[in-house]
Structure 1
Amino acid sequence: MNATLDSIPVLQSEGQILAEVNGCLGLITLNRPEALNALSLAMIRDLTTLFRAWAQAPEIEAVVLMAAGRPGKPAAFCAGGDIRFFHRAALEGDTSLEDFFTEEYALNHLIHQFPKPSIALMDGIVMGGGMGISQGCKLRVLTEHSRLAMPETNIGLFPDVGGGYFLNQCPGQLGKWLALTGQALAAGDAIELGLGDVFVQSAALPAIVEAFKFKPQSSAEHVVATVMERVDLAPAADLPALRARVDQHFSLPDVAAIMASLAASEEAWAQQTHATLLKRSPLMMAVTFEQLTRAKTLSLAEDLRMERDMVQRCFHLRPGAGSETVEGIRALAVDKDHAPRWQPARIEDVSREAVLAFFESPWSADQHPLRDLK
């Protein structure tokens, strides 16, 4: 590893982010495997520091983003943001929760705008915040273990980190279906939908990482070729066969109509999808539907500003334990009773006014925390 001290900035996350330089390559490892590499605020700050520094460093021509694993355990690139922190911070009124979302969304934008080749090795679970830091990479590498999802409605949240932007790029109504259900995608379907680029066997990853760390990396082209020479044929995609069904139901004008349509169908897929939606927060499904509708015409920066408004409302419209998000996290990850008490409990009782409140920005344009995103 022939790094110069100037190439690696000082990091703050106490080893949760590892940075190395080999020739022209900057290598970043998410190193919180016991938490499935879920993002902490310190990790977000270190990732921001590295991407900003390496964007400006002429000796760095490419960046790789990867994740540490746990021996003998399934892989996880990044399971999302640290939701237990969200729960605690919301109940305690910890203002670092505000910093988390502002800085995370700014990081998502920074990665999308990064001016050099960036590669994400998306082995295993890639959910929520993991999608946020990988979707902006130029080469998104999937394996047979990859499982991509935006499962936020399961915790009373919405698909943030730019989800309104990148899910809308999926064909037909598939993005809306993914947003509302939180359905996980395997590699073949993720590549088919444009959420991944290439497939490699997980057995090939150690050789790729070994090359990145220890073999000469003389140019960005060489870094990319290190992956591309091991690319394999992606598994067949299942979703094209489902596309017509998804479009039929999820093109309807609101969530209540979608659920009624699914309930009226005798197909097993429709019944299973309806059962999934019955477990989600009715309010946040309606908010998510509105998010995806509005984001169709937005740039990434505009979408992230909208999502920053929305997440502020998630924790402050009904503060503390009254928050739909706090309740969803409680049920899934804190008490683990898997019995969230959604308010309201039925989609029919979600008012238009309650949904629109999430889209009223608490900031003027010149005071918005993400006003500088272009």
Structure 2
Amino acid sequence: MTTPSSPVRFSDWPTRDGRRIGVATLDAEASLNALTLSMIEALDQQLTAWQHDDSVVAVWLEGAGDRAFCAGGDIVALYRALQGDAQTARDYVVRYFSAEYALDYRLHTYPKPLLAWGDGIVMGGGMGLLAGARHRLVTERTRLAMPEISIGLYPDVGASWFLNRMPPGIGAYLALTGAQLNARDALDLGLADQLVPAQRREALIGALCRADYGPGSDALLNERAIHAALAEVADRNLAPPAQLWPWRDHIQRLTSAADAGQACAAILADPEQNDWLDANRRRLAEGCPLTAQLAWGMLQRHRHTSLAQALRDELSLSLRCCLEGDLAEGVRALLIDKDKRPQWSHAKVAAVPPAQIEAMLQSVWQGDDHPLAALGREKG
């Protein structure tokens, strides 16, 4: 089912009782399965087809190869679009992020069991895919992050919502520092449901195909079958040592602040000597000051909102980051010229004018004019 313009492989695994498990493989191994617009649109279309196919009892989502599930969105394509005329650039940005966030929402609300095999690198847009799955599976070699501080965007793909579902201050720390997490951290923070060792992937597939899904399309029976299959192979005891949890009280003290400037200053002044904390401090010190302010503002705004509301706000802010913010410069420095010396628009987090932050957080659209206005209004 793969086409040259849509590097996603669709297949299925037959189950013992004559049904099927739909399989979607992001097939762009060379780019660590970076999520292109054509991939997003193809995946959304196939998920719709599987949703209405009674022979499909569940969906499995994975990335090609053993290096990454998905390392993020196709920000190189975004950069190239931004080099064109203003209207063409705007149209591409809106189309890309609208499709991506609608896909993320579809995953979160998908009516059939959806398993995401989060092996290897899971970052940015990949986190959006993993977060939406009903069964978020990680392995001993999983590495997760929302690293937008390094490119001048901000944690999107629903992160304004799911980072808020962690213990107080932890999501803010991840957003400000782009901290990399391992499988144990993901389990501790509620970003993953099960750890399945990478070498047990085939055993899990076999267990899923042998499972008894019962008659008809009973969702509860399907879930019971999948839980039983996972119980055969999952083993949290094989997770690597926690990086974050031993420091949770310390991190919460650092981020217990009135604003982003105070929180960033506390993190940068932290005297604790630890390789993981050191790497996080360096990433923040070198990162985009505007990103830090926007990330903090979005987390404050969406402490108690719905996922749909967060995604609508994220679409507006992502457009502003592309057209008014530092994203193009961040991508240039990291992935185009690769000089790793971005010229951010502000020297320090505290130097970003409050009026600019407020303006960027204002929605570009109102009411039903919003491209994602329909999210959360589905019937039944």
TM-score (norm 2): 0.88
Give 1:320's aligned residue. Answer: none
- CA–CA distance in structure 2, aligned partners of residues 144 and 353 of structure 1: 44
Pairing of 1:251-330 with structure 2 (within 5 A): 251-269=256-274, 273-317=280-324, 323-330=325-332
- CA–CA distance in structure 1, aligned partners of residues 41 and 6 of structure 2: 13
Task: Say if 1:156 and 1:324, in contact at 8 Å, map to a contact too.
Answer: yes
Change (3 A) 1:15 1:88: closer
Question: SS of the counterpart of 2:144?
Answer: strand
1:170 aligns with 2:166: yes
Of residues 102, 106, 110 in structure 2, which corresponds to 1:110?
106
Give 1:363's aligned residue. Answer: 365
Pairing of 1:1-374 with structure 2 (within 5 A): 14=5, 16-21=7-12, 22=14, 23-69=19-65, 74-92=66-84, 93-94=88-89, 95-209=91-205, 215-216=209-210, 218-219=212-213, 220=222, 221-234=224-237, 235=239, 236-269=241-274, 273-317=280-324, 323-374=325-376
Question: SS of the counterpart of 1:148?
Answer: strand
CA RMSD of aligned residues (A): 1.9
- CA–CA distance in structure 2, aligned partners of residues 196 and 265 of structure 1: 29
Instruction: Give the letter aligned to residue 51 of structure 2.
Output: A
Question: SS of the counterpart of 1:268?
Answer: coil
Instruction: Give the letter aligned to residue 79 of structure 1.
Output: A
Give 1:3's aligned residue. Answer: none
Name structure 1 gaps, 5 residues minimum. 1-9, 318-322
TM-score (norm 1): 0.90
Following TM superposition, by how much is the alpha carbon of 1:224 offset from its aligned partner in structure 2, in angstroms?
A: 4.3
- CA–CA distance in structure 1, aligned partners of residues 182 and 48 of structure 2: 31
Change (3 A) 1:149 1:273: closer
Change (3 A) 1:46 1:218: farther
- CA–CA distance in structure 1, aligned partners of residues 24 and 207 of structure 2: 14
User: How many residues are paired up?
Assistant: 354
Following TM superposition, by how much is the alpha carbon of 1:340 offset from its aligned partner in structure 2, in angstroms?
A: 0.5
Instruction: Give the letter aligned to residue 233 of structure 2.
Output: R
Question: SS of the counterpart of 2:82?
Answer: helix
- CA–CA distance in structure 2, aligned partners of residues 188 and 161 of structure 1: 22
- CA–CA distance in structure 1, aligned partners of residues 333 and 206 of structure 2: 41
Task: Say if 1:140 and 1:197, in contact at 8 Å, map to a contact too.
Answer: yes
Following TM superposition, by how much is the alpha carbon of 1:345 offset from its aligned partner in structure 2, in angstroms?
A: 1.5
Instruction: Give the letter aligned to residue 248 of structure 1.
Output: R
- CA–CA distance in structure 2, aligned partners of residues 325 and 305 of structure 1: 19
Change (3 A) 1:264 1:178: closer
Change (3 A) 1:267 1:217: closer
Instruction: Give the letter aligned to residue 337 of structure 1.
Output: D
- CA–CA distance in structure 1, aligned partners of residues 351 and 270 of structure 2: 23
Instruction: Give the letter aligned to residue 188 of structure 1.
Output: R
Change (3 A) 1:262 1:133: closer
Instruction: Give the letter aligned to residue 57 of structure 1.
Output: D
Task: Say if 2:34 and 2:73, in contact at 8 Å, map to a contact too.
Answer: yes
Task: Say if 1:263 and 1:271, in contact at 8 Å, map to a contact too.
Answer: no
Following TM superposition, by how much is the alpha carbon of 1:261 offset from its aligned partner in structure 2, in angstroms?
A: 2.3
CA-to-aligned-CA distance 1:44-63 (integer Å, 9 cap, x gap): 00111111122222221211
Question: SS of the counterpart of 2:340?
Answer: coil
Task: Say if 2:149 and 2:284, in contact at 8 Å, map to a contact too.
Answer: no
Task: Say if 1:11 and 1:46, in contact at 8 Å, map to a contact too.
Answer: no
Change (3 A) 1:182 1:262: closer
Task: Say if 2:60 and 2:116, in contact at 8 Å, map to a contact too.
Answer: yes
Change (3 A) 1:332 1:120: same
CA-to-aligned-CA distance 1:198-218 (integer Å, 9 cap, x gap): 111111113334666xx5565
Identity of aligned residues (%): 37
Q: Which one is further off, 165-174 or 218-227?
A: 218-227
Following TM superposition, by how much is the alpha carbon of 1:107 offset from its aligned partner in structure 2, in angstroms?
A: 0.4
Question: SS of the counterpart of 2:153?
Answer: coil
Task: Say if 2:61 and 2:115, in contact at 8 Å, map to a contact too.
Answer: yes
- CA–CA distance in structure 1, aligned partners of residues 253 and 119 of structure 2: 32
